[in-house]
Amino acid sequence: MTQSRGWAAQNATTPLAPFKFSRRELHDHDVLVDIQFCGVCHSDIHFVRNEWGNAIYPVVPGHEIVGRVAAVGSAVTRFKPGDHVGVGVIVDSCRTCPSCKSGQEQYCDVGATLTYGVRDRYGDLTQGGYSNNIVVHDHFVHTISPRLSAAGVAPLLCAGITTYSPMRHWKVGPNKKVGVVGLGGLGHMALKFAHAFGAHVVQFTTSESKIDDAKRLGADEVVLSKDPTAMKKQASTFDFILDTVSAPHDLNPYLEALKRDATYAQVGLPDQPPVINMGHLLFKRRAISGSIIGGMAETQQMLDFCAEKNLVADVEVIPIQQIAEAFERVVKAQVKYRFVIDMASLAA
Ligand code: NAP
Ligand code: ZN
Ligand code: ZN
């Protein structure tokens, strides 16, 4: 067994605290990764606070992992010790169903194995990246360009792929007007990608203090979503809108902003369902859809795209000892724009 150290939640209400646990011995296809940085995703907070009702404790959260390969199993050919690698939201899937075979492991028909908080195929409880190391099947390990800042890359493994994948799927590009709702971890990556893909991008935000940042990050226009007049001006003009908001909010003004036949894609996962005025869907044949992370091949494509464009997340690097304060700031929408934990702080 590999001995591991991390910070875990023992229940929904007490703060994360130091925790020792073990990870499995390396199987033939396994990679042992020494973790350097791990991003703080709002999903970590939803999960450890049991806001989705599916938490299992103890849980070490974290699924935006970057580090260096420490050891590999006998059948691993893609990686060797010292390589710069990343691990995201899933660490296994059946690999035989139609979704897995078509490279959409995140939609595995029997359910992909999440990086933390579920039982894996060996019966072990998976534990995430707020820790010093992780053991992962090589199919779920990604190559990271050593030219990019490792801390800035970490959020690409969830926030990055979660926004890249739907934008590719719904063909965001030149001559398309695209909206991003919410400027947080996912939102700021969505903005960077939509801009990089050549779309006309409109950032919707509730935070006046983020307007200048939104422009710097690539927004062609910024709309304060609390202003009904500004929202009305956008009516029936969007080809696509991506909603990254973590809390319940009114979708109806955004649905009205879509053109005929356009799609509203949800990637944020609030703990309460929205109330939809069906008229907004019927009269212009608009669609609401959703998307979750991305497949393994697409995740590597996204990382390669980011390496080519020198595109990473805007991060605030923190020691693990500041995680409670970081969670509070994320919930208050005050992070600019992703906390990333420096795992060297585990030794402190
Ligand atoms: P985040 O950094 O907290 O960003 C969420 C943003 O939503 C905030 O910055 C804020 O933006 C806006 N917001 C927050 N509360 C709001 C409210 N009450 N009304 C309106 N807007 C509000 O969170 P994140 O890490 O980007 O994650 C966002 C959501 O995506 C979470 O629910 C998370 O679980 C989910 N998620 C889904 C996937 C997937 O695969 N689909 C992957 C990762 C995360 P402004 O200040 O600009 O308004
Ligand atoms: Zn995430
Ligand atoms: Zn499958």
Q: What is the DSSP string of 175-235?
A: T-EEEEE--SHHHHHHHHHHHHTT-EEEEEES-GGGHHHHHHTT-SEEEETT-HHHHHTTT
Mutate to test the pocket of ligand 1, among 227, 244, 267, 332 (most ligand atoms within 8 A of CB): 244
pLDDT, residue 348, reads 77
Closest CA to 34 of 60, 3, 9: 3
Cα–Cα distance between 321 and 219 in angstroms, integer? 34
Locate 200 and state its tokens: 């006309």
Where do the H-state alpha helices sit in the chain?
42-48, 98-101, 150-153, 159-169, 185-196, 211-216, 228-232, 252-256, 278-282, 296-309, 323-331
Cα–Cα distance between 16 and 34 in angstroms, integer? 21
Closest CA to 264 of 250, 90, 218, 44: 250
CA of 71 to the centre of ligand 1 (A): 36
Ligand 1 contact, 251 CB (< 6 A): no
Helix, strand, coil shares, percent, the chain, to 5: 30, 30, 45
Mutate to test the pocket of ligand 1, among 38, 42, 54 (most ligand atoms within 8 A of CB): 42
Cα–Cα distance between 343 and 347 in angstroms, integer? 8
Locate 181 and state its tokens: 């709702």
Ligand 1 contact, 247 CB (< 6 A): yes
CA of 228 to the centre of ligand 2 (A): 31
Upper half-sphere CA count for residue 138 (Cβ side, 13 Å): 20
Residue partners of 185: CB distance under 8 A and separation at least 6: 39, 40, 41, 42, 155, 159, 313, 330, 335, 337, 338
Cα–Cα distance between 104 and 120 in angstroms, integer? 19
Q: Are 327 and 181 in contact (CB under 8 A)?
A: no
Beta strands 65-72 and 30-39 are antiparallel
pLDDT, residue 346, reads 97
Ligand 1 contact, 340 CB (< 6 A): no
CA-proximal residue: ligand 1, atom 20 (nearest): 249
Overall pTM surpassing 0.95 (yes/no): yes
Helix axes 159-169, 296-309, angle to 10 degrees: 100
pLDDT 10s per residue in the chain (348 long)?
899 999 999 999 999 999 999 999 999 999 999 999 999 999 999 999 999 999 999 999 999 999 999 999 999 999 999 999 999 999 999 999 999 999 999 999 999 999 999 999 999 999 999 999 999 999 999 999 999 999 999 999 999 999 999 999 999 999 999 999 999 999 999 999 999 999 999 999 999 999 999 999 999 999 999 999 999 999 999 999 999 999 999 999 999 999 999 999 999 999 999 999 999 999 999 999 999 999 999 999 999 999 999 999 999 999 999 999 999 999 999 999 999 999 999 987
CA-proximal residue: ligand 1, atom 23 (nearest): 42
Instruction: Count Cβ atoms below 10 Å from residue 108 Cβ, excluding itself.
Output: 20
Cα dist from 248 to 24, 115, 215, 244, whole Å? 39, 25, 25, 11
Upper half-sphere CA count for residue 171 (Cβ side, 13 Å): 5
Helix axes 159-169, 185-196, angle to 10 degrees: 40
In one letter, which amino acid is 95?
Answer: R
Locate 77 and state its tokens: 């050919």
pLDDT, residue 217, reads 97
> Phi, psi at residue 228, to the nearest 5°?
-60, -35
pLDDT, residue 1, reads 87
